[in-house]
Every structure is written in structure tokens, then in C-alpha cells.
Structure 1
């Protein structure tokens, strides 16, 4: 049985997301979307920086610092010597509707940054979200559109398969795609129908065996699916709404799990960040490299 422990005592996020291991700093990063905050846990020290807008997803930057998806722009975040945070815009995106923001995002194995967008009002259930790829020239055209809440973005070890979910209650699907040399997802196919499993498919990670770990939001679980889409195991989390998981640690054997605190939920477990050691290793994330396109 895998033990799941709280990482930071007496701390909770509104919408914890995008855990990321920074090996160079031996530090965990993650975000609180609605708190407009970047978090860091390093050597037992918890730090936080507040931005002026919602921050949804993170990746490493090849030249240092982090890449982040905010409400309508992709930025470079860099920590200054005085402890402050420098924010430089890399690309801006014109959303098709007001009230939208970025959601899940990460780099593929070639260092290309992918991020999805969504309408913040999930109750509206509008399929206006899309998946984009970003390079030095800015955002691509939508690679995949018609999404309500894009999530579960992950890439196989060889970079040839991309996984993507839609976590909205009306969808609850995970797809797999072939990825060509230019980073274009093709041959969309159903990987897992989460309507047949507990929870909604939120954020995800890939382990060294090629298995896909997905947070089962509303079910208090993290599922592990084999490359052929078979449910291999599930880990119980002490809160109902785990949101995203990521591998890291010195030996890549730690699984960090963020969670959401719904409005009115005053339990100590909701919104906490958890760490588990499930007995498998993950894969290092590739930093974003400013490809010319």
C-alpha cells in the first residue's frame, strides 16, 4: 500500500495545479490558479510569489527559470537575487471568448511547450477550448479544438505519443495521439473512457515503464493505466479532488499530487499538496527551448 503524506503543513490552495520538479534546484514548484500564486518547496522551506493574474501551468525554461501559462499569455518567470520574481511575456493569445484562460500545459520530449485553454465558467460547458503549441514566433493555430476542459497532457518517453483528456463531467475522456517530427498530434483515438472508472481525468504524468498516471478528480484517487489503456492500480488520496501529479525527487521516485479546495470546504485535507512514493520512477521533464518554429 502506498503512503500519501502532506507536503506542507497548514497550507492549502484554492486550485493547486502543475507540480514540477526542478532538478537543478532540488525543488518542487506548483501553482494555485485562483490564488494567482507560484509555490516552491525546497529543503523544507515553503515559498510563494503572487502574480497579477491566474497562473495555470508550468514548464522548465532551457535558459533558466520557468515557462508559465497565465490567463492569455505565456511568460518566462525568473527568480531575482532579492527574492522577487521577474515576469517577461513570451507570447500572447487572443481567446475566442471573454472569460477564458490557459489550463493544463507542459513540454514534449523535444522541448516544445503545449498548453490548452478553457472557459473559466465550467458550468457553461462550452467547447471553446483548444490545444496550442508555442515556439519563438508565438502560438500555433489550434492543434485540437472543441475542448471544454483540456487536461491530462503527457508524452511518452520516445515523444511519439501524446495523451490529452477532457475532464468536464460531460466528457471524462482520455485520448492518445501520434506526434510527428514537427510536433503535430495526429491519429486521435480513445485511450481511456473514464466514464467506466471513478473520477474525472485531471492532470497526468508518465512513468519510466510508459504507464499513464491520472488524477481522478471527485474520486480521491490517482489511477495508473498501462500503455494499452488497462487500469493497473489506484492510489487513494486524503481529499476528494486531486488535480495533477508529477514525478520528481533525487531518484525520480516521488509523486507530487496537488488538489483543489472547493468553495465552502473547510476540511484540512482539501487543497493540500501531497507526496507519495509509489514504487516506480518517473521521467525528467524536457525544458522549453525557443525553437524557431
Structure 2
């Protein structure tokens, strides 16, 4: 299954791809650059917008104003792209980080439109368990702490019926994916248990997606692979991409049967063997995805 390069984006950390069905376009972020990107299927047009701080994760807004909810460095914001290439930013919820030098990382909406996002210390080498996972219920609401004691919370996903939540910690010391029972009324996860120990498979667990069959797709960072695990935690297939650090995947296209993959272009690394690092790729995964819920739907 050949991976097609759709854009040689050269992102430092390409993350949080989200398919916009109304625009038939893929949006994603480059975290350290603080940029929101869009690639349009019809003509391959690429556009970017600049934020005023690091931009880590996004979800479409369901309100009439549209735009995006975003996890950044200092909290959650509503972002509205402008024709001038900037983002009009409105604060939604601040975050009390455990220490300096932290930001949001992976995030997405549950099936009910609540926004979930995790925080991490940017200096991963410290291995500090100061990361946390938060839930945001809607405009004007505070952040609700749901899990703490994490290093790099990642891999958030929800089953098709919304009753199971997935979460990983991608730090080399952990490399675990957990499953939770998820109360769709209260938005509270429970019964945390190990879903996959990624030390048994190539790559650290990074960003994830769910397909219509309830299978969990996870990028194997450092291994150049995207893995599919069945709901009972069995490895079903592994698809290669031509870069070592795939970061996150998302289903898109008219039939939601294309798997888009963003990637990382690490600074100060010889990239002679992976010149396309930081690019965005499209795969034919042999499965169909689900439309991502909008925030506040």
C-alpha cells in the first residue's frame, strides 16, 4: 500500500489532521511554527495561517461562526482564519500548568462535541510526569482535569458509539495505550486498563484515529509505520510511510476511505534517508473512517 505525498510541507511537527467534509479539505497544525494549514482536495491548493503561540491540536467549531477550537500553550482558544493569513484568537479556557515550559499536545472531540486535550512538558528528555488530560464541555466552561501524572498524553480516540475512550503516553519510558469505559452523558472515563503495550511493536504510540469497524489506528513514531489494532487489542496490519516519524493520522476524502498522515521533521538530524520528513501523506488503508465530531455540536 503505497503512501502518496500530497504536500512536502516540511513541518517541524505536523499534527492534528482533521478532515473538513464541507470544504473537502484537510486541516492540520505545525506545532512549533504555530501554524494552521489547509490542503484542498479539488486542486491541491495549500494555505496557512499564523497563530501567536504554539498550536498543538484542533477541532472544528459547530457554532455559526465556525472556526476552530485549539489547544495551544496557555489554554484553549477559538481561532477564526482570515483572508490575510492570520488567526483571530478568542480565549476559551486557561490552564494551570504544573510548571513552566508546558503546552497542550494531542486533542480531539468526543462524540458529544466535548473537547479533550492533554498537556506536556516541552522538554521531553526530563521525563517529568507533569502532563495532564483535560475535558472542556463548552464555551464559558472551565477545564476539568481527568488524568494527571502523565509525560506525553497522546493517541486520544473514541469508539464509534462513543462508549470507549483511548489514550496513550508516547514517552519512551511508557509507550502504553489504555482503554476506558466512557460515560457519554457525564463525559467521565472509568475502568482504565492496558489496551496495547507498544513496547511489543515497532514505534512509539503517537496520534490516532478510529475507523467504522471500531479499529484503532496509531502512528508508530520512529518506526515509519501506522498500525491498526482491533477492538480487542490485536495488531491487524501495519502500513509504511516514507518517513521515520509519522505523527497523527485521520480519515478523509469523499468516502472517508483515505488515511492522511502528518509527520515530523526533526531539527538537527541528517535527513538524507528521509527527505520527505515533515510531509503529509495519503494512504489507501482498506477501511473507512468516521466524520470527526465538531466542538459543541
Comparing 258-267 with 212-221, greater Cα deviation is found at 258-267
What's the counterpart of residue 110 of structure 1?
112
Let me know the Cα RMSD of the aligned residues: 1.2
Provide, for residues 37-60 of structure 1, a one-character-per-residue CA deviation record: whole Å limited to 9, x for no partner. Answer: 111101310111121110000101
Name the SS for the 1:195 alignment partner. helix
Name the SS for the 1:114 alignment partner. strand
Comparing 214-223 with 60-69, greater Cα deviation is found at 60-69
Shift in Å, 1:214: 0.1
What's the counterpart of residue 16 of structure 1?
14
TM-score (norm 2): 0.94
Provide, for residues 157-181 of structure 1, a one-character-per-residue CA deviation record: whole Å limited to 9, x for no partner. Answer: 1100000000000000000001112
Quick one: which of 151, 168, 188 aligns to 1:148? Answer: 151
Give 4+ residue runs of structure 1 displaced > 6 Å after superposition.
Answer: none
What's the counterpart of residue 125 of structure 1?
127
Quick one: which of 16, 21, 27 aligns to 1:29? Answer: 27
Contact 2:56 2:70 survives alignment (8 Å): yes
TM-score (norm 1): 0.95
Contact 2:49 2:81 survives alignment (8 Å): no
Where in structure 1 are there 5+ consecutive unaligned residues? none
Pair 1:5 & 2:8 matched = no
Pair 1:248 & 2:255 matched = no
What's the counterpart of residue 162 of structure 2?
159
Structure 2 Cα separation of the partners of residues 209 and 50 of structure 1: 36
Rate the CA distance shift 1:269–1:83 in 2: closer, same or farther, 3 A: closer
Shift in Å, 1:83: 5.3
Where in structure 2 are there 5+ consecutive unaligned residues? none
Equivalenced residues, count: 288
Shift in Å, 1:78: 1.5
Structure 2 Cα separation of the partners of residues 236 and 81 of structure 1: 37
Structure 2 counterparts to residues 1-293 of structure 1, below 5 A:
2-9=1-8, 11-42=9-40, 43-63=43-63, 64-80=66-82, 84-135=86-137, 136-180=139-183, 181-265=185-269, 266-267=271-272, 268-289=275-296
Structure 2 Cα separation of the partners of residues 101 and 88 of structure 1: 17
Structure 1 Cα separation of the partners of residues 167 and 24 of structure 2: 28
Structure 1 Cα separation of the partners of residues 16 and 293 of structure 2: 15
Contact 1:256 1:274 survives alignment (8 Å): yes
Contact 2:25 2:38 survives alignment (8 Å): yes
Structure 2 Cα separation of the partners of residues 8 and 139 of structure 1: 37
